[in-house]
Amino acid sequence: MDTEIPTRPLILISNDDSIDAPGIHHLVECVRAMGDVIVIAPKEPHSGQSAALTVGEPLKIGERPCDTEGVRLFTVDGTPVDCVKLGLDAIVPRKPDLMLCGINHGSNSGTAITYSGTMGAVLEACMEKIPAVGFSLLHHSMKADFTLSTSFVVDIVARVLEKGLPEGVCLNVNIPAKVVPEGIKVCRAAHGHWSEEYKRYLSPSGMPFYWLTGRFVNEEPDADDTDEYWLNRRYISVVPVTPDQTAFAAIRPVEDLLK
Amino acid sequence: MDTEIPTRPLILISNDDSIDAPGIHHLVECVRAMGDVIVIAPKEPHSGQSAALTVGEPLKIGERPCDTEGVRLFTVDGTPVDCVKLGLDAIVPRKPDLMLCGINHGSNSGTAITYSGTMGAVLEACMEKIPAVGFSLLHHSMKADFTLSTSFVVDIVARVLEKGLPEGVCLNVNIPAKVVPEGIKVCRAAHGHWSEEYKRYLSPSGMPFYWLTGRFVNEEPDADDTDEYWLNRRYISVVPVTPDQTAFAAIRPVEDLLK
């Protein structure tokens, strides 16, 4: 009888800011002592790409040299979801024990996570039954300081790696910027909407064109069970997220509506 | 005192298959007797674009000639979500009374709606507090026959226009292909995952590249409260959908996990 050789956990890491973003390399540093790490990240930035995937075009895989033992770096010339899908199909030697995404340069809080490429990739791993966590720092700069929250990130990853997550649930973790976090709060996504402020321009020939700006408007700033509330108070927010968007409480009312 | 002039409902229609897809024009025909219609659709196809939006690039609006009274046709050179966002900001004269999306050429059922550009646009309208419904026909062909379900589509739209929808809820309607539907079932999204079957190729120089294929695998084929179940039995499925992806039942377990 063969003796089973103990293997180190396999951790898949992706992001939406591309392989060149500092946030993903900080995340690798946070967790590489816990297992073998395979990074599969977009070749180019893909912020705001949600769960978009590439259909009707081919994808290519690249490998970047990496001197760190137990870490390999791959690129896919597609979206964050493409990285997870194609990575699971063609790159990883076995199903990863954990999938991490980020650390994103910029927030992914409230119901605005619908646009998040970071959470798009996390939801993809979740649907593939891999415990998955997305991390985002509330700071857009490529020079953002990720180190103030390192101990919290390490702790969250270690616990999820050890104990797993409830079935069909992944985590959306947001981290306040420029402070040592006060602690961690598990909460729900604040309801809100993106306040559009497209800036309007005129081309040399007088044709108008538009550039997205705007910001997320929290519609319930006083609700103390939301991510926005606690992020504003210097806490790390952890929202359990499900790929199932069914509004269960609305099934009966909609039945009545269509009766 | 001014007398209020009664206005016809304003209906915003978008899709992800582009302004040139037959499905969107069929949807316009279904509903144009009910109100003024403004179509704002992607200039090019954007299937699988989820709730992706264009950041870091400008957008242009175009208008297509339309002979039908009470119908105007616009294009945006972006994603379905861009169409809704920019349309609400820069095209519509007032907040629409209803937003419709589709009719999509192809299914958007089960938890695979996470990839759906059709539902990305619907969720965007929902977050803007506009009653919104996405329609998808289970047939990918551009020559698909949309007429067999016309009376059902008209009925659903008329009821939502008259009575609205529960707050924070939009509808995902899928329609079986090539049959007169047996009826309508309000249900939940079937849980499943996309079974990857990337086809692998070699370039002339021997470099591998990959093309997405695969299919949605329903993990609970016997559950009689899911969209997949009823679609397989020739019913139209109506799933109430929420932009809030918080897994509420997991908040306490995740608190325990991180304690």
> How many whole angstroms separate alpha carbon A42 and alpha carbon A44?
5
Does residue B136 surpass a pLDDT of 80? Answer: yes
Residue whose entry in the numeric block shows the structure tokens 């695979």: B112
B-chain residue closest to A84, CA distance? B196
* Residues of A whose CB is below 8 A from B168: 191, 247
Q: Do B210 and A52 touch (CB under 8 A)?
A: no
CB contact under 8 A, B81 and A238: no
Chain B CB contacts of A253 under 8 Å are 166, 240
Looking at residue B48, what is its pLDDT? 86
Q: Coil, strand, or helix at residue B176? A: coil
Record: fold of B10-190+221-258: Stationary-phase Survival Protein Sure Homolog; Chain: A, (3.40.1210)
Whole-model pTM: value is 0.94
Residue A193's pLDDT is what? 83
* Higher-scoring residue by pLDDT: B141, A132: A132
Chain B residues with CB under 8 Å of A50 CB are 49-53, 81, 120
Helix (H) or strand (E) holding B14: strand B10-14
Distance, CA of B131 to CA of B167 (rounded, Å): 9
Which of A114, A246, A253 shows the shortest C-beta gap to B243?
A114
A127 to chain B: which residues are within 8 Å by CB?
111, 114, 192-194
DSSP H helix total and E strand total for chain A: 6, 13
B184 has a chain A CB within 8 A of its CB: yes
The pLDDT of residue A192: 87
User: Using one digit for the tens of pLDDT, what is the confidence trace for B108-122?
Assistant: 999 888 899 999 999
Report the alpha-carbon distance of residue B231 to residue B128 in Å, rounded.
29
Tell me the pLDDT of chain A (259 aa) as tens digits: 456 666 899 999 999 999 999 999 999 999 999 999 999 999 999 888 888 889 889 999 999 999 999 999 999 999 999 999 999 999 999 999 999 999 999 999 998 888 999 999 999 999 999 999 999 999 988 889 999 999 999 999 999 999 999 999 999 999 999 999 999 999 999 998 877 679 999 999 999 999 998 788 899 999 999 999 999 999 999 999 999 999 999 999 999 999 9
Q: B160 contacts in A (CB within 8 Å)?
A: 257
pLDDT of residue B196: 65
Assigned CATH topology for domain A10-190+223-258: Stationary-phase Survival Protein Sure Homolog; Chain: A, (3.40.1210)
Do residues A170 and A158 lie in contact, with contact meaning Cβ atoms separated by under 8 Å? no
Q: Give the helix, strand, coil percentages of chain A, each rounded to 5.
A: 30, 25, 45
- Residue A18 touches chain B, beta carbons under 8 Å: no
The predicted structure's pLDDT at residue A51: 86
> Within 13 Å of residue B200, how many CA atoms lie on the same side as its CB?
9
Yes or no: say if B34 and B161 are a contact pair by the CB < 8 Å rule: yes
Residue in B246, B248, B251, B256 to test binding to A, most A beta-carbons within 10 Å: B246
Residues of chain B positioned with their CB less than 8 A from the CB of A142: none
A125 touches chain B (CB under 8 A): no
Residues of A within 8 A of B196 (CB-CB) are: 85-86, 88-89
Tell me the pairing of strands B132-137 and B98-105.
parallel
**DSSP three-state, residue B6:** coil
Cα of B2 to nearest chain A Cα, Å? 32
The mean pLDDT of B195-222, rounded to a whole number, is: 90
Task: For residue B145, give every residue at least 6 positions away whose Cβ sits within 8 Å of its Cβ, in sequence order, or none.
Answer: B139, B177, B178
pLDDT at residue B2 tops 70: no
The domain segmentation of chain B, as residue ranges, is 10-190+221-258
Buried b (16+ CB within 10 A) or exposed e, A115-130: bbbbbbbbbbbbbbeb
pLDDT attached to residue A140: 87
- What does the alpha-carbon distance between residue A137 and residue A184 come to, in Å, rounded to a whole number? 14
How high is the pLDDT of residue A4? 65
Residue B176 CA, chain-centre distance (Å), reads 15
Supply the DSSP symbol for B28.
Answer: H
Distance, CA of B161 to CA of A89 (rounded, Å): 44
B205 touching chain A per CB within 8 A: no
B202 exposed, middle or buried (CB, 10 Å; 0-12, 13-18, 19+)? exposed
d(CA B257, CA A215): 33
Binary contact (B127, A113; C-beta < 8 A): no
User: Greatest CA separation found in chain B?
Assistant: 78
Partner B contacted by A142 (CB < 8 A): no
Judged against a pLDDT cut of 80, whether residue B6 lies above it is answered with no
Nearest to B108, CA basis, from B42, B179, B169, B192 = B192
Residue B218 touches partner A, C-beta closer than 8 Å: no
